[in-house]
Amino acid sequence: MSDTLLTQLDAGVFSVTFNRPEKKNAFTHAMYEAATAALQEAERRDDVRVVLLSGAGGAFTAGNDIGDFLEHPPTGEDSAVFQYLRALAGLSKPVLAAVEGAAVGIGTTMLLHCDYVVAGEKARFSMPFVNLGLCAEGASSLLLPRAAGFALASELLLFGDPFDAATALRAGIINKAVPEAQLKEVATERARALAQRPAQALKVTKALIRGPLREQVDAALKREGAEFVQRLASDEAKEAFMSFMSRGRK
Ligand code: COA
């Protein structure tokens, strides 16, 4: 655990909180490492029945920290971001997420690996990869068309525009949207309810739901990862990142 990633176990619910609110919980490579370690701990511990992901300070996460990405670009499969995605995709226990505010990039794509997602009605999702000169990641090129159909998946991934909770619901990215004031309560109640179900039956059922796609998910992560690493070094990406970094200095 680190300051930027908090974990807590309560009634079988292992809460993992992205905690960098001053940067909208944008992920540095150190946060990915801490998050991977937290998921591995959740997998190992018998007293952990379910995992609940959330962000501190009114945002889920603004995705990859762009400055950190420039300083420590992922170079291959062992990079921190890809290890995190594999750990999340491979978790045998149910994962829930409570999404408030911004869920950008991997903040949206990681939800495709969650088993139950509740969002605040004002949450804003986006996968702005193309606009950043990048490409789909997090196995979204495989999982989003399955969840949303090709038309909506292509719209969301190609244009990269922000979308609201109603669209996320329609796209099959979230299960439920609730007023922000109820988000924590609803997410905690759902997590506790799942934590009380028979643990082995939960695991087997999750494996039955996700298992047939496991190899395809791993292959998609590899395929996207290889393209993503190349895209990061492209002039298109460098230009987009520099433009974000120099915001506010203009
Ligand atoms: N990487 C690095 N810093 C980020 C960041 C990111 N992905 N997202 C937000 N921040 C920083 C901002 O630079 C700002 O820092 P500052 O206060 O030192 O200037 C701080 O977090 C607050 O962000 P701000 O943009 O002022 O908040 P907002 O509520 O107006 O907008 C977002 C929130 C998430 C919509 C907006 O910050 C954004 O679009 N971020 C970039 C998201 C992105 O492209 N992610 C990469 C996907 S691969």
Burial class (CB in 10 A: 0-12, 13-18, 19+), 191: buried
What backbone phi and psi angles, to 5 degrees, belong to 171? -80, -5
CA of 64 to the centre of ligand 1 (A): 10
Q: Which of 19, 22, 24 for mutating ligand 1's site (highest number of atoms within 8 Å of CB)?
A: 24
Contact call for residues 216 and 204 (beta carbons, < 8 A): no
Q: What is the pLDDT of residues 109-163, one digit of tens each?
A: 999 999 999 999 999 999 999 999 999 999 999 999 999 999 999 999 999 999 9
Q: What is the pLDDT of residues 8-44, one digit of tens each?
A: 999 999 999 999 999 999 999 999 999 999 999 999 9
CA of 169 to the centre of ligand 1 (A): 24
**CA dihedral sign, ordered 120, 132, 6, 4:** negative
CA of 171 to the centre of ligand 1 (A): 24
Q: CA–CA separation, 72 vs 249, rounded Å?
A: 23
Q: What is the pLDDT of residues 37-89, one digit of tens each?
A: 999 999 999 999 999 999 999 999 999 999 998 888 898 889 999 999 999 99
Nearest CA to ligand 1 atom 40: 62
The residue type of 178 is V
Burial class (CB in 10 A: 0-12, 13-18, 19+), 86: buried
Q: Structure tokens of 102? A: 């911004």
- Domain spans, the chain: 5-181
Q: Is the CB of 127 under 6 A from ligand 1?
A: no
Q: What is the CATH architecture of 5-181?
A: Alpha-Beta Complex (3.90)
How far apart, in Å, are the Cα atoms of 144 and each of 27, 213, 217?
22, 13, 11
Q: What is the pLDDT of residues 160-189, one digit of tens each?
A: 999 999 999 999 999 999 999 999 999 999
Q: Structure tokens of 160? A: 């990269």
Element (H, E) at 128: none
